[in-house]
């Protein structure tokens, strides 16, 4: 049996990256994600890997682009303002169809904001963030175990679909310690990287690019990317449904907020209120069908987020037409985390 460890969420990300075969990391320190580069700076050299603290977030994302183009598994990590600086490089990776993992242990904003827990990067992550109308895979862990498991999944999905994948968490899950079972890398049917750049030698030239100047080339490329996103929606949506079968009210939440919502739901059940949780694990692709099917029976939904309303927009687009969607948000600030009692009161109001 694999032994259980007691580790931080950020450390779980770094451990998973190594287990997934990542040997190249490029990043820059920023609170509250700095445990990730700290861990990898110690461990990667022992594995003949490369750790580079770049001179900036912009440099680090472009180093990731270059490493990915050679076919190796590589990653970067940062927190919200740093991810903003990486957006142009992420767009170039998406346009070049390059895999790579980006971890965002998000903090409060806009601007420099602060280091409080926040879920205000949802729009930036799932709607593309940079120029060009692209998407990336976005996974939202709610526990230390999921920080580990979903990081490994991110590497696989990035390789399978040839696109960047993001693990989107916050300082609650990143900094907390929980038991972790460090599972071995799961088997996955991964495609050959016959697109990776290399020396020409006697073979054909390989070029990775996002510049298409021929007549109709860029339009065809964008439709190709669109078909990839549709395939993701059909095959890779993930969610957790908790006590939804008999629910009269659904609470929708992701990441750390879903942990608090679960406790509030247990308290509501003790009062005789039939409440369930629907938690998206993939934020892109968003589990639209799960919300549609759930609200064909349960017509009331309460969305809870650590922001002023972002995921709620996707919930409203996904539910049955006659479903009612309410929102309760807590933007970053002093005492920004809602208590279970606070969410219970919201449940009572919207039940």
Give the domain CATH number at 339. Answer: 3.40.50.920
Per-residue pLDDT reduced to its tens digit, 283-302 = 999 999 999 999 999 999 99
Q: Is position 337 within any domain?
A: yes
Q: Is position 208 within any domain?
A: no
pLDDT at residue 334 tops 70: no
Q: Do 70 and 164 sit in the same domain of this protein?
A: yes
Residue among 341, 37, 69, 19 at smallest CA distance from 188? 19
Place of tokens 């963030």: 129
Q: How far apart are CA 221 and CA 239, in angstroms?
A: 30
Q: Do 272 and 230 sit in the same domain of this protein?
A: no
Please compute the mean of the pLDDT values over residues 1-14 and round it to a whole number: 91
The total domain count for the chain is 2
Residue among 260, 251, 248, 266 at smallest CA distance from 301? 251
pLDDT at residue 157 tops 90: yes
The two beta strands, 114-117 and 164-170, are unpaired
Q: Do 230 and 324 sit in the same domain of this protein?
A: no
50: domain range?
5-186+225-234
Residue among 179, 101, 184 at smallest CA distance from 143? 179
Per-residue pLDDT reduced to its tens digit, 249-272 = 999 999 999 999 999 999 999 999
Q: Do 230 and 248 sit in the same domain of this protein?
A: no
156 is written with which tokens?
């696989």
- 89 near 76, Cβ under 8 Å? no
Please compute the mean of the pLDDT values over residues 73-91 and round it to a whole number: 97
Q: Is 6 left (phi over 0), alpha (psi -120 to 50) or beta?
A: beta
Q: How far apart are CA 81 and CA 249, in angstroms?
A: 36
Q: Do 44 and 149 sit in the same domain of this protein?
A: yes
Per-residue pLDDT reduced to its tens digit, 302-320 = 999 999 999 999 999 999 9
Per-residue pLDDT reduced to its tens digit, 171-218 = 999 999 999 999 999 888 999 999 999 877 777 888 899 999 999 999
pTM: 0.96
């Amino acid at each position: 049996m694999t032994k259980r460890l007691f580790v931080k969420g950020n450390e779980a990300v770094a451990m998973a990256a190594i287990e997934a075969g990542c040997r190249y990391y490029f990043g820059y320190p920023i609170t509250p994600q700095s445990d990730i580069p700290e861990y990898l700076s110690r461990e990667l050299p022992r594995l003949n890997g490369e750790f580079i603290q770049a001179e900036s977030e912009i440099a680090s994302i472009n180093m990731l682009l270059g490493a990915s183009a050679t076919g190796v598994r590589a990653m970067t990590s940062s927190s919200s303002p740093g991810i903003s600086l990486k957006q142009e490089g992420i767009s170039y990776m998406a346009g070049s169809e390059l895999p790579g993992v980006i971890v965002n242990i998000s903090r409060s904003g806009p601007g420099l904001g602060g280091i409080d827990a926040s879920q205000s990067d949802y729009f930036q992550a799932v709607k593309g963030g940079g120029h060009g109308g692209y998407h990336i895979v976005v996974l939202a862990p709610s526990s230390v175990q999921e920080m580990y498991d979903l990081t490994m999944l991110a590497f696989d999905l990035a390789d399978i679909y040839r696109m960047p994948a993001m693990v989107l968490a916050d300082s609650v899950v990143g900094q907390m310690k929980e038991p972790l079972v460090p599972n071995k890398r799961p088997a996955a049917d991964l495609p050959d990287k016959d697109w990776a750049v290399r020396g020409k030698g006697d073979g054909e030239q390989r070029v990775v690019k996002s510049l298409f100047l021929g007549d109709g080339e860029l339009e065809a490329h964008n439709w190709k990317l669109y078909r990839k996103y549709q395939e993701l929606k059909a095959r890779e949506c993930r969610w957790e449904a908790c006590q939804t079968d008999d629910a009269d009210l659904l609470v929708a939440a992701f990441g750390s907020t879903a942990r608090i919502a679960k406790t509030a739901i247990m308290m509501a059940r003790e009062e005789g209120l039939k409440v369930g949780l629907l938690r998206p694990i993939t934020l892109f692709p968003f589990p639209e069908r799960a919300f549609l099917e759930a609200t064909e029976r349960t017509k009331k939904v309460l969305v809870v987020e650590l922001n002023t309303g972002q995921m709620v927009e996707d919930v409203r687009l996904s539910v049955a037409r006659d479903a009612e969607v309410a929102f309760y948000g807590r933007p970053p600030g002093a005492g920004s985390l809602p208590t279970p009692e606070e969410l219970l009161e919201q449940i009572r109001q919207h039940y």
